[in-house]
Structure 1
Amino acid sequence: MYHRFLRQHVDPEETGGNDTYCNLMMQRRKMTMRQCKRFNTFVHEDIWNIRSICSTTNIQCKNGKMNCHEGVVRVTDCRETGSSRFPNCRYRALASTRHVVIACEGDPQLPVHFDR
């Protein structure tokens, strides 16, 4: 689950931010294989900064579990456009620095799910 989280959400090398970035990364990270993933967030922070969020106070996840943690990071949100159809998935980008919530598991605690 940790490696899946890395593939789907972590891109420390980039600042992201535009539609071309989203279109390329969603394809490159295999989120347009069988259908277009409707929404995805890429975090533009070093993995150690992301992992440090797991050491913050536990909060409730959307699914009711108490293994979520909150932090502030630089992100690019990629949202599928209304006219997008598989296999030609197209995305709109929104870059920002915002609060995120991630679920962490294991010992040591590692990020396994991007909650919101």
Structure 2
Amino acid sequence: MALQRTHSLLLFLLLTVLLVQLSCGQDYMYQRFLRQHVDPQGTGGNNGYCNLMMQRRKMTLHQCKHFNTFIHEDIWNIRSICSTTSIMCKNGKMNCHEGVVKVTDCKETGSSRTPNCRYRAMASTRRVVIACEGNPEVPVHFDR
């Protein structure tokens, strides 16, 4: 009886630890998504914006990130994309969602070197695909 109770308690503790780790991992991915892709006040659109934001958001520390997209929408508008119909992500998972938002795409010029990475900017309003996870679902990955 005592052994069964001990096993039950250990199983409960193990499940609790796993759930905490999962939620911490999801929170990390959400915070990373915000840092790399969300700039609600920005209007973007020029090379100087990309050069500054890529450096400011720490995407040029060890190497120049080849391509990045900044979304110029309120986080609640971005999170609402997670409530649209699921579609398949590039990795085959079915946790992606699509929506139309204002963006600045930053593409590395190819001739720059870290930490002085140089980018070309292109501003537009276009369809994006983001992966969402959690309960409630939050964006955790910019798919395309």
TM-score by length of 2: 0.80
Alignment-derived partner of residue 39 in structure 2: 11
Unaligned runs of 5+ in 1: none
Give the alignment partner of residue 64 of structure 2, picking from 29, 36, 55.
36
Counterpart selection for 2:73 from 35, 38, 45: 45
Q: Once the two structures are superposed, what CA deviation does each residue of 1:2-43 show, in whole Å capped at 9, x if it has no partner?
A: 000000000000111100000000000000011100000000
How many Å apart are 1:87 and its aligned residue?
A: 2.2
Per-residue CA deviations over 1:62-95 (Å, capped at 9, x if unaligned) read 0000000000000000000021122220000000
Q: Name the structure 2 match of 1:107.
A: 135
SS, match of residue 3 in structure 1: helix
SS of the aligned residue for 2:52 comes to helix
Aligned with 1:75 (options 84, 103, 106): 103
Structure 1 length-normalised TM:
0.99
Residue 87 of structure 1 is matched in structure 2 by 115
The separation in 1 between residues aligned to 2:45 and 2:96, in whole angstroms, is 26
Partner of 1:56: 84
Aligned partner of residue 136 in structure 2, secondary structure: coil
Query: Between Structure 1 and Structure 2, how many residues are aligned?
Result: 116
Match of 1:21 in 2: 49
Identity %: 84
- What is the root-mean-square deviation of aligned Cα atoms in Å? 0.5
Report the structure, 1 or 2, having the larger helix content. 2
Measured in 2, the distance between the counterparts of 1:106 and 1:87 equals 35
Deviating beyond 6 angstroms after TM superposition, the runs of 4 or more aligned structure 1 residues are: none
Partner in structure 1 of residue 124 of structure 2 = 96
Alignment partners' CA distance in 1, 2:48 and 2:80 = 30
